[in-house]
Amino acid sequence: MQRLRARFAEVRRHVSVVDPVARWWGRQRLRMKLTVAAALATVAIAVPPQLTRYWQSVLFFPVGVYMLLALGLNIVVGAAGLLDLGYVAFYAVGAYTTAVLTTTHGWTAWQALPFAVIFAMVAGVLLGAPTLRLRGDYLAIVTLGFGEIVRIVAQNSGSLGEARGITGIAHPGKLVGTDFELLPLPYYYLTLVAIGLAIVLMLRLTRSRVGRSWSAIREDEDAAEAMGVHTFTMKLWAFAMGASTGGLAGWVYASKVSFINPDNFPFFFSVIILAAVVLGGMGSIPGVLAGAFAIGFLPEYLRNAAAGAWLTDRLNTLTGGHVNNITEYRVLLFGLALVAMMVFRPQGLLPSRQRAAELAEAPSPEQAMTVVTEAAEDALVGTEGAGREHGPAPPAPPGAGTGKAVTGRAEPAVPTRPRPATSKGPTHGDIVLELADLTMGFGGVVALHRVSIGIERGGIFGIIGPNGAGKTTLFNCVTGVFRPTSGAIVLNGRSIVGRKPHRITEAGIARTFQNIRLFPNMTAVENVLVGADARHRTSVPGAVLGLPRHRREERTGRAEARRLLDYVGIVHRADDLARNLPYGDQRRLEIARAVATGPSVVLLDEPAAGMNPTEKRALIELIRKIRGSGLTVVLIEHDVGLVMGVCDRVAVLDFGEKIAEGPPAAVQQDARVIEAYLGTTADAP
């Protein structure tokens, strides 16, 4: 029995992980992909007029509508990773808006179209704004609730026709010589156009910083935030776009069938669309389309085919039921398919390369259950910051008092950002980052107590101290993960206390994490790009529309990312998945990503952790190089030798207080420091 189970698991692992289809597709050149797409498009356009009216109708609904809805939900679930169980709500809003506008207010269907989409989008924003902070499955339940609320409101509102619904919805007026009356074919083509638009939209998005930020959010939301991604805004955009697509589908449906009622929008409908996305392959356009097609088409096919009758008989014997038609078993098979898929092939039929990668690796079961707590604890680990040049790359970096040799060349790899206007004048001196009386308390525990540190521009500043001394908490306060209880944090003359992490990154502080928080299933280049995206100026709609400025920023961003990878020495690994990189390269990548955000100050949290002496020497080189490009580096480290070797000044924390500060040699001799690190001085065993 044990062996049987082991073999079973082996097979399953093989099936889920080795993804021949995804790999094959990924390997195909663009020309091949375009050919396949063109072939499918031709079939989609040319074949339907040959079919019977019944099948044409089926192609419109459920198949076409499902495909459109699945594309929309794919943005929410597949791209942004947000669990939405109430997607039907947006569909309903679109449909009801169309219904009300064309019946009560006498508008034409075409006039109602933009409003159907907009109202659905508004609904999306209204739902999303307060709820997107929630954890995954809670978000799912809230959205489910919302979906049901919409349906029940429709059911009970007189103005929405209550249970009877609304009849007499207008068909769309004539367009390009086509009548939209009762025949299904024109609506089918209309849906096809909508699907085409949605595909274009999605492709644009995934290739842009919007798609990257969604991937980053999915992989590691906190790290994304630290890299300057506006996580909340991006999630809201995903919701809004998904909702508008739902609204569009609602319009098309309502304007064809002319009659809707609340029973058209049950919770189960949300499940169907979700299933289409999941079974087809989340995040992958071909997958989602295939999934939606299967879910829409198969039941209809089985209803009429002999295979359907055979299946019904088999199932009747199994369940002891007396069902006539396979459609009765539709939902049951559906549920079974969902479970089977999740158990055997969670990445779906045609998964995107990224998702297949994500689902391939898994921690041990005990680890999996503790992952939540650990992730939270890990979030409290230190951060690295990346410095940034001020003004155009100067041949010699500013930074008096460092006394270190300076690289003579300008380093074009390190991004520049115009020096922000300081509120205090040059008399503020060379202090780029100042902490004054910083205090941080959690409940009864005081993690930091009145810590004051002034970090000079262009210096390499070290922070050391025993475990639990508050070093990481300090980093977290500076980068906005925690809001300090009291005290000031001033960057370039501007206070950054209490600001959100992504804003602080924009202001000029970047970090790396003690336990390396890269986006594991994105390539090295993509990881760096997420950092670089922090400096993108184009808005989300601009990305969607493919504005010239957006395209330009993409191009320069990519070039810059490669330059940065070269700068840290891993450009040969540019297209490897981050999690496949060796440890030392991962550290370098994280540094590159942080530097890409174009900061003034780089915070590095235990960058040498786990490195052997050779790697440490290389790291020291890199840190010096970064400083040479004009950035200020602040470093938490346990490796005393490294700290002493590379830092200009060192501060020592112990129990949340700064107990020493100064040049490394002096700090090393300080009695308090010795005691803190080594225990009480006079203790004989």
Identity of the residue, 296 or 387, whose beta carbon is nearer to other proteins in the bound complex = 296
Burial of 10 (0-12, 13-18, 19+ CB in 10 A): exposed
- Pick from 58, 71, 275, 592 the residue near other proteins by CB under 8 A: 275
Q: Does 158 participate in binding other proteins (rule CB under 8 A)?
A: no
**Are 439 and 487 within 8 A, CB to CB?**
yes
**Distance from C-alpha of 224 to C-alpha of 216, rounded to nearest angstrom:** 6
Identity of the residue, 35 or 157, whose beta carbon is nearer to other proteins in the bound complex = 157
Q: Does 679 participate in binding other proteins (rule CB under 8 A)?
A: yes
- Pick from 54, 138, 310, 442 the residue near other proteins by CB under 8 A: 138
Q: Does 657 participate in binding other proteins (rule CB under 8 A)?
A: no
Minimum distance, C-beta of residue 157 to other proteins, in the bound complex (Å): 11
Instruction: State how far the alpha carbon of 482 is from the alpha carbons of 225, 448, 479, in Å.
Output: 13, 12, 8
Place of tokens 């087809």: 280
**Are 99 and 166 within 8 A, CB to CB?**
yes
- SS3 state of residue 609: coil
Which of the stretches 49-57, 77-85, 88-96, 625-633 binds other proteins when contact is defined by CB under 8 A? Answer: 77-85
Residue whose C-alpha is closest to residue 543's, from 551, 555, 533: 551
Identity of the residue, 305 or 369, whose beta carbon is nearer to other proteins in the bound complex = 369
Strand ranges (E), 460-610: 460-464, 486-491, 494-495, 509-511, 601-605
Instruction: State how far the alpha carbon of 590 is from the alpha carbons of 233, 299, 340, 399, in Å.
Output: 24, 49, 38, 25
Site for other proteins, residues 7 to 46, rule: CB under 8 A: none
- Pick from 173, 196, 468, 546 the residue near other proteins by CB under 8 A: 468
**Half-sphere exposure of residue 484: CA atoms within 13 angstroms, side-chain side:** 27
**Distance from C-alpha of 242 to C-alpha of 90, rounded to nearest angstrom:** 9
Per-residue binding string, other proteins, 210-229, x by CB under 8 A, is -----------x--------
End-to-end CA distance of the chain, in Å?
A: 56
- Pick from 32, 39, 126, 137 the residue near other proteins by CB under 8 A: 137
- Pick from 274, 294, 302, 653 the residue near other proteins by CB under 8 A: 274
The pairing of beta strand 389-390 with beta strand 259-260: unpaired
Q: Does 669 participate in binding other proteins (rule CB under 8 A)?
A: yes
Which of the stretches 189-197, 250-258, 263-271, 623-631 binds other proteins when contact is defined by CB under 8 A? Answer: 263-271
Site for other proteins, residues 308 to 337, rule: CB under 8 A: 315-316, 319-321, 323, 328-329, 331-332, 334-337
Identity of the residue, 44 or 337, whose beta carbon is nearer to other proteins in the bound complex = 337
Q: Does 338 participate in binding other proteins (rule CB under 8 A)?
A: yes
**Are 426 and 493 within 8 A, CB to CB?**
no
Which of the stretches 360-368, 389-397, 400-408, 596-604 binds other proteins when contact is defined by CB under 8 A? Answer: 360-368
Q: Does 662 participate in binding other proteins (rule CB under 8 A)?
A: no
**Are 448 and 474 within 8 A, CB to CB?**
yes
Q: Does 639 participate in binding other proteins (rule CB under 8 A)?
A: yes
Q: Does 304 participate in binding other proteins (rule CB under 8 A)?
A: no
Q: Does 2 participate in binding other proteins (rule CB under 8 A)?
A: no
Site for other proteins, residues 544 to 603, rule: CB under 8 A: 579-580, 582-583
Identity of the residue, 429 or 610, whose beta carbon is nearer to other proteins in the bound complex = 610
Cα torsion at 89, 95, 99, 105 (round to 10°)? 80
Q: Does 126 participate in binding other proteins (rule CB under 8 A)?
A: no
- Amino acid type, 420: P
Query: Token pair of 89, please?
Result: 């709500």
Site for other proteins, residues 514 to 533, rule: CB under 8 A: 514
Identity of the residue, 242 or 458, whose beta carbon is nearer to other proteins in the bound complex = 242
Identity of the residue, 569 or 662, whose beta carbon is nearer to other proteins in the bound complex = 662
**Are 397 and 627 within 8 A, CB to CB?**
yes
Strand ranges (E), 549-588: none
Q: Does 442 participate in binding other proteins (rule CB under 8 A)?
A: no
Burial of 360 (0-12, 13-18, 19+ CB in 10 A): middle
Identity of the residue, 46 or 339, whose beta carbon is nearer to other proteins in the bound complex = 339
- Pick from 68, 75, 83, 532 the residue near other proteins by CB under 8 A: 83
Which DSSP helix (H) or strand (E) runs through 93? helix 88-103
Site for other proteins, residues 612 to 631, rule: CB under 8 A: 612
Q: Does 346 participate in binding other proteins (rule CB under 8 A)?
A: yes
- Pick from 140, 236, 252, 561 the residue near other proteins by CB under 8 A: 140
Query: Token pair of 271, please?
Result: 């499940």
Residues in contact with other proteins, counted by CB under 8 A, come to a total of 102
Residue whose C-alpha is closest to residue 507's, from 413, 385, 400, 381: 385
Q: Does 157 participate in binding other proteins (rule CB under 8 A)?
A: no
